[in-house]
Structure 1
């Protein structure tokens, strides 16, 4: 009995290559069909959770295409009515909604797992005629009012998680309506648009290389008043041509047997461009991307209200990454140094700012990656109440894995220890900042943009608007390469009709090539060459773009022509008389509080006094504080708001006059020795929950012992309550 000869490595490789080609084409066919399926839906999204509509923005007095939905908790997941609800806000930056809850390990998933009710703010594919960015902010405020009304037992206001472009919208809303918001978490959100470092952040030069925002206006006019979000997606993809034109398609082709599902899931979101009103996009380009007016306080509402980010009273949490080429850390955090000259101003203004820096994850990974969700997002979700209590100031969140040497792991939620460490504005500046000369270059771009936009509106816009029709605008959108690539591989293309059947045949007789096949190895080598080529092109393109930008807008002649000659400095938000008066009043009120209070104030003041030299706090001490609070009788237990105000006031008293604040402790303590002992034990339990005290901390604790006049027990008590 004879056996068939084995295939040679050459034939084996080409059979596999042909089969992979068919399967890849079939995957692209499915992607194209999904594009049309999503486009046919009224509210397409990629949410992986069941939701129910709460509020339709189209029914508001100023209608918008945003909606508020409640996320239905999966079976077996318990929601704590006392915990503040989470509201996840999706970015409207060209692609479709749902990325914040695309899978179980997501921003929504970790919030639900932590026991928080969860809501989602998404949007519909087409804008309401006439809607503006201000209307969207008003709608978001209305949504928050609705969420708060549905959770009367929650101890604090809703926590808002805003992704990418949603970040600046939520910050604007919170600056206008600071009474509505709990902690704000900004994931990959740009706020300081000129910021960056030379050689690494080319996207910030885009406005200058295009001559300003007149092309934005042209695109909106050609779209008959509509701006196609596919153009924004194209801008994002152009940042990394190696990934766009080679790595992503090759990754699908080379791993088509296992990669198809993940590829299609992502492309369902990424490949579903939405529309914006031309006026919305023009406002964004003029005031943010090119004008950078948000942190300078130059934006005002239609009622004349100044949008000043210093008005925000909620803690602001910033999650950014060194691997993010769309919103680099400088753009995510530069607003802090735009608003404040020294960290003491942050404290005096009553703002709490927390940031964390991921070392490598890309922009989309900040709110898509399961690893980020199960670490950073999960830790923030479980420790958000701790952040809400932290006194005003600038902090970095440090998240470390729990190991066998970690003290008191029973007080830690999950497998990571969450710690806040005090930082200074110099730490933010050390991330990279523009020189005054570079800021003047970007300011020159803004002025040139105004001139070019004015010329376009005077000379060309009337003709463009007269020529544009709804039909021509629709045709332009259909012919956009970022839309056409989906349609070209769908079943609407007659050439693709046989691919589905051919792919089924291939799957039935799949013959994958061996990993060590010489031709397969050469294929991977060639792929590396292609990636290197595209990366070399990107580096050359970015270097030329930067050099052209710096030379053009650094020209003293051009700067002088637009009124920005040598010595002209860009301005921050400046002084605010009302804020200064309010700050002076708060200072005067605090001066009267040194000897006001009782045992609770004495305990909090003592803990802060001992811990201040170390400049850090972690979740273990907070867990003990929560335990102490829970064992108090309900009629004597302080509300979360009262505890938060107490933390803030006691911290400020220590900053105003540390010696006076500590010297006043005996006048806060009760005469009852048992109560004093309980209070001193609480101080002991909180301070010993984490790592050991420094020498200065031990000296301060000894002084607290003397002031309390009682000694704590040797073993923690309230920590186990």
Structure 2
């Protein structure tokens, strides 16, 4: 918007439309993007499409189905390789296996009369950081009560705007993505039989992730590249340009709402999108450095940062860590257990649940969700809060802020730090136990054999290049070679420069 480009936003209503599914959403988004294209017939290219978090995989799915609609694609904090990770960190990927798979998702949707309450997704997110959820968030607003109220309320109104999903939507997300890990493997099919193959995307793909993101760690944001390609030459063979950047510390929400991130990474990606659009096919890492007196051609760089796209190989992504063959077998076993449990639930339990739950009961259960109750209990709907409201005015009039050197303030800060430390220690212990349990249970050769996983196998999700694409590629190479003797001095000079530059990874 700052550069004068028209911007459009796709959002969701709190309640899903009847019959709303992931596929129908994708078809609707395709119509929307097509309409945007028609509104700007003189545009130089196709729209740049940005998808944050879960919208990231949705954009990638649509771009693989309708690549002709897309210009550059930016996905931020978006999980695309759902089993990926490293031991000792990011334990959220174990949740599906520890809960026995996706049958609980189906049960929750059935208890909601065909709707999945989005508050459960928010609670799952908050459970990852109990010290912030249970203490720090509240402590910050009360310890800075003179200045924090507006910011706190603004965030909570946004954060508490839970969006419900249809049962079919959430079941697709859990079964096909988070438990099934079928996206990069090309095992997702649409109702018309079309397969989702991320290699069909022809637009530059920009991936923004962070080491501080425990919801979508770098491995989940980037390892889809390892699942799809053997090396960078294969990326080039598909004509794909992939640019990634890894922040050192920002958390999941910070990727989207942090002012510092907006001024640096997002601003640089936006202002340099034309540069990214003309990068030759390959894999690149975007690096950022502050613009200073020593910066070459500093007058040509807009803003406070300089972005460089440096060529990388798949080994650079592997160096971030990832799954071993043993880990892959564990997650494959968890997937099979999920399928078995879901089938058993659907056959023996689901008909009874659906027969007992009506829309009124479902609405009552949604209203009694803990995340909603914590707002309702202290809202004007509670008659006891009217007394608090009347006293608040008197308190504001007589409010006298304590001085910073007050010993009770120092004591308060120390107690707060101890509470945070205790809650963090409890979280770390719980996460370590969860990881050890998952690795032990699903690493059992007996369990793996029982669900049809060969305990000695080395699972691979990588798709082989199709015969049709290989034939097309060979024909293209032959065509280019047949034209090598065409051109004059200018073409010869450019070819010479490209030949010399190829030794430097250009």
Q: Does 1:213 align with 2:102?
A: yes
* TM-score normalised by length of structure 1: 0.69
Q: Does 1:344 align with 2:344?
A: no
Which residue of structure 2 lines up, in the alignment, with residue 356 of structure 1? Answer: 245
Which residue of structure 2 lines up, in the alignment, with residue 692 of structure 1? Answer: none
Q: Which moves more between the two structures, 385-394 or 586-595?
A: 586-595
Tell me, in whole angstroms, the C-alpha distance in 2 between the residues paired with 1:154 and 1:598. 33
Deviation at 1:375, TM superposition (A): 0.7
Tell me, in whole angstroms, the C-alpha distance in 2 between the residues paired with 1:128 and 1:231. 19
The correspondence for 1:297, drawn from 186, 191, 194, is 186
The correspondence for 1:392, drawn from 281, 287, 301, is 281
Which residue of structure 1 lines up, in the alignment, with residue 266 of structure 2? Answer: 377
Q: Does 1:145 align with 2:31?
A: no
Q: Does 1:465 align with 2:357?
A: no
**Aligned counterparts, 1:11-50, within 5 A:** none
The correspondence for 2:197, drawn from 308, 311, 314, is 308
Count of aligned pairs between the two proteins: 505
Unaligned segments of structure 1, at least 5 residues: 1-111, 617-721
Which residue of structure 1 lines up, in the alignment, with residue 453 of structure 2? Answer: 564
CA shift digits 1:417-465 (9 cap, x unpaired): 1110000000001111100100110010000000000111111101000
Which residue of structure 2 lines up, in the alignment, with residue 577 of structure 1? Answer: 467
CA shift digits 1:186-245 (9 cap, x unpaired): 000000000011111110000011000000000000100000000000000000111111
In structure 1, the residue corresponding to 2:202 is in which secondary structure?
Answer: coil
- Tell whether the 8 Å contact from 1:440 to 1:570 is kept in structure 2 after alignment: no
The correspondence for 2:339, drawn from 450, 454, 457, is 450
CA shift digits 1:468-499 (9 cap, x unpaired): 10000000100011111111111000111122
Deviation at 1:165, TM superposition (A): 0.2
The correspondence for 1:499, drawn from 388, 399, 402, is 388
Deviation at 1:141, TM superposition (A): 0.9
- Tell whether the 8 Å contact from 1:298 to 1:573 is kept in structure 2 after alignment: no
Tell me, in whole angstroms, the C-alpha distance in 1 between the residues paired with 2:475 and 2:25. 34
Tell me, in whole angstroms, the C-alpha distance in 1 between the residues paired with 2:102 and 2:57. 19
From the superposition, tell whether residues 416 and 454 of structure 1 become closer, same or farther in structure 2 (CA, over 3 Å).
same
Which residue of structure 2 lines up, in the alignment, with residue 135 of structure 1? Answer: 24
Deviation at 1:581, TM superposition (A): 1.8
From the superposition, tell whether residues 138 and 447 of structure 1 become closer, same or farther in structure 2 (CA, over 3 Å).
same
In structure 2, the residue corresponding to 1:115 is in which secondary structure?
Answer: coil
Q: Does 1:119 align with 2:8?
A: yes
From the superposition, tell whether residues 313 and 601 of structure 1 become closer, same or farther in structure 2 (CA, over 3 Å).
farther
Deviation at 1:574, TM superposition (A): 2.8
Tell me, in whole angstroms, the C-alpha distance in 2 between the residues paired with 1:375 and 1:502. 44
Q: Does 1:193 align with 2:82?
A: yes
Which residue of structure 1 lines up, in the alignment, with residue 483 of structure 2? Answer: 593
From the superposition, tell whether residues 255 and 614 of structure 1 become closer, same or farther in structure 2 (CA, over 3 Å).
farther
**Aligned counterparts, 1:647-666, within 5 A:** none
Tell me, in whole angstroms, the C-alpha distance in 2 between the residues paired with 1:265 and 1:602. 61
Which structure is larger by alpha-carbon Rg, 1 or 2?
1
The correspondence for 2:158, drawn from 262, 269, 286, is 269
Deviation at 1:578, TM superposition (A): 1.9
Which residue of structure 2 lines up, in the alignment, with residue 323 of structure 1? Answer: 212
The correspondence for 1:525, drawn from 414, 418, 421, is 414
Tell me, in whole angstroms, the C-alpha distance in 2 between the residues paired with 1:252 and 1:467. 43
> CA RMSD of the aligned region, Å?
1.4
From the superposition, tell whether residues 605 and 510 of structure 1 become closer, same or farther in structure 2 (CA, over 3 Å).
farther
Q: Does 1:490 align with 2:490?
A: no
Q: Which moves more between the two structures, 182-191 or 122-131?
A: 122-131
CA shift digits 1:39-89 (9 cap, x unpaired): xxxxxxxxxxxxxxxxxxxxxxxxxxxxxxxxxxxxxxxxxxxxxxxxxxx
- Tell whether the 8 Å contact from 2:12 to 2:163 is kept in structure 1 after alignment: no
In structure 1, the residue corresponding to 2:384 is in which secondary structure?
Answer: helix
In structure 2, the residue corresponding to 1:421 is in which secondary structure?
Answer: strand
Tell me, in whole angstroms, the C-alpha distance in 1 between the residues paired with 2:304 and 2:494. 28
- Tell whether the 8 Å contact from 2:81 to 2:221 is kept in structure 1 after alignment: yes
Deviation at 1:336, TM superposition (A): 0.4
- Tell whether the 8 Å contact from 1:396 to 1:421 is kept in structure 2 after alignment: yes
Tell me, in whole angstroms, the C-alpha distance in 2 between the residues paired with 1:566 and 1:515. 62
From the superposition, tell whether residues 613 and 298 of structure 1 become closer, same or farther in structure 2 (CA, over 3 Å).
same
Tell me, in whole angstroms, the C-alpha distance in 2 between the residues paired with 1:530 and 1:553. 34
Deviation at 1:509, TM superposition (A): 1.8
Q: Does 1:171 align with 2:60?
A: yes
Q: Which moves more between the two structures, 372-381 or 593-602?
A: 593-602
Tell me, in whole angstroms, the C-alpha distance in 1 between the residues paired with 2:258 and 2:490. 42
Deviation at 1:595, TM superposition (A): 3.8
Q: Which moves more between the two structures, 512-521 or 567-576?
A: 567-576
In structure 2, the residue corresponding to 1:497 is in which secondary structure?
Answer: helix
* TM-score normalised by length of structure 2: 0.97
From the superposition, tell whether residues 482 and 395 of structure 1 become closer, same or farther in structure 2 (CA, over 3 Å).
same
Unaligned segments of structure 2, at least 5 residues: none
Q: Does 1:182 align with 2:71?
A: yes
Which residue of structure 2 lines up, in the alignment, with residue 702 of structure 1? Answer: none
The correspondence for 2:327, drawn from 421, 424, 438, is 438
From the superposition, tell whether residues 599 and 116 of structure 1 become closer, same or farther in structure 2 (CA, over 3 Å).
farther
Tell me, in whole angstroms, the C-alpha distance in 1 between the residues paired with 2:255 and 2:492. 41
